[in-house]
Structure 1
Amino acid sequence: MLDPAARRLIDPPLNRAGRWLARHRIAADAVTLVGLGIGLCSAAAVVSGAFVVALVLLLVSRLADGLDGAVARATRKTDFGGYLDITADFFFYGAFPLAFAVHAPVDNALAAAVLLTSFYANGASFLGYAILAEKHGMKSDARGEKTLYFSNGLLEGTETIIFFVLLCILPGLFAPLSYIFAALCFITAVLRIIAARRLFPH
């Protein structure tokens, strides 16, 4: 829901940084992989209880997640680059809640399982919608230039980052925050399915 507004704010500085990285021959795919590595280090910091370190690494990893697209726009966008980017995002989004479950399994495991299930449902509805949108030639640049069609929803990338930041700041509230976020993810998935049924032939 917040992604279009966030993109208008962050795209200009990201594009400048992307052009600088491109001039220094740093590839977009390399930025994607570095961002994923930093994100997984953030999850590892959560496991060890170093939540301030986890927060810093989280923000750096998400900066890299924005920079890879900026580098691609400054050089050459590829289908594989878009595929690698979305795969890295899903990998990180799964690893972060898992880290809280490993950190405090008694308190967090069930909530993490519910949250990951909601991510799975939301991700399936998102990717399925993107496939149908591509099949029907639909385009959208409200969330920046993307390899896949990004359908809107209550929860998108910006909201997820804010949620992860809150988890780092308030780790003792992981369970209640996760249940709330999971409920919103399930609602987002259902609304996207309803939208797909209205838009696509059935």
Structure 2
Amino acid sequence: MLDAKIRPLIDPILNAQGRRLARRRITANQVTLAGLVLGLAAAVLIAFGHPLLALAPLLLSRLADGLDGAVARAGQPSDFGGFLDITCDFAFYGAIPLAFVLADPSGNGVAGSFLLMAFYVNGASFLAYAVLAEKHRMSSSARGVKTLYFTGGLLEGTETIAFFVALCLWPAWFAPMAWVFGALCFVTAGSRVLLAARVFSGSA
């Protein structure tokens, strides 16, 4: 919901830094993988009971996620780069809830499982829509220039990052926050299904 509003504010900064990194021969894929390593490091810290310490690598991971596209645009974007980016994103989004479950299986297990299922369904609706959008040659730059077609929704990247930060700040509230956020993920997926029904019904 917030991504399209935030992109015009942060893209000029990211693009400037992306050009600087590209001049130093740092590739977009290297930035993507660095972001994944930082995200997994945050997950490890959470799993071992240090959610506050996890905030720094978590936020740096998301900064890298914004920078990789900027580096790609400053150099030579590739389809594989887009594939690697979305795969690493999904790995990160799954690792953080899993880490909270590992930190407290009895207290967080059920809510964490529900949240991961909600992420799975929401991600499936996102990717399926992107496939059909590509088939119909649709394009959008509202959330920046992307390899895949990005549909909007109630919950997007900005909201998810804010949610993860809140979990790190108040880990004792993981279960209720996970139930609420997971439910909103299902709402987002449902709205995307309705949009797909309106846009693609009757298409070959």
Same fold (TM over 0.5): yes
Structure-1 residue corresponding to 2:43: 43
Structure 1 segments (4+ residues) deviating >4 Å: none
Structure-1 residue corresponding to 2:70: 70
Q: TM-score, normalised by structure 1?
A: 0.99
Structure-2 residue corresponding to 1:137: 137
Distance 2:52 2:198 in 1: 45
Q: Which has the larger displacement, 48-57 or 176-185? A: 48-57
Structure 2 matches for 1:183-194, cutoff 5 A? 183-194=183-194
Distance 1:54 1:100 in 2: 12
Q: TM-score, normalised by structure 2?
A: 0.98
Which amino acid counterpart does residue 130 of structure 1 have in structure 2?
A
SS in 2 for 1:13: helix
How far off its partner does 1:48 sit? 1.1
Which amino acid counterpart does residue 60 of structure 2 have in structure 1?
V
Structure-2 residue corresponding to 1:56: 56
How far off its partner does 1:53 sit? 1.4
Summarize deviations over 1:64-110 as a string: whole Å, max 9, x none: 00010000010011000000000000000001000000000111011
Which amino acid counterpart does residue 79 of structure 1 have in structure 2?
D
How far off its partner does 1:5 sit? 1.0
**Ranges in structure 1 where 5+ consecutive residues have no aligned partner:** none
Structure-1 residue corresponding to 2:3: 3
Distance 1:110 1:93 in 2: 17
Which amino acid counterpart does residue 139 of structure 2 have in structure 1?
K
Distance 2:106 2:55 in 1: 23
**Ranges in structure 2 where 5+ consecutive residues have no aligned partner:** none
How far off its partner does 1:146 sit? 0.2
Structure-1 residue corresponding to 2:105: 105
Q: How many residues align?
A: 202
Distance 2:16 2:67 in 1: 10
Query: Superposition RMSD on alpha carbons, in Å?
Result: 0.6
Which amino acid counterpart does residue 53 of structure 1 have in structure 2?
L
Which amino acid counterpart does residue 200 of structure 2 have in structure 1?
F
Distance 1:120 1:95 in 2: 12
Structure-1 residue corresponding to 2:171: 171
Which amino acid counterpart does residue 141 of structure 1 have in structure 2?
S
SS in 1 for 2:160: helix
Percent same amino acid among aligned pairs? 60
How far off its partner does 1:50 sit? 1.2
Which amino acid counterpart does residue 104 of structure 1 have in structure 2?
D
How far off its partner does 1:41 sit? 0.1
Which amino acid counterpart does residue 91 of structure 1 have in structure 2?
A
Structure-1 residue corresponding to 2:14: 14
How far off its partner does 1:111 sit? 0.6
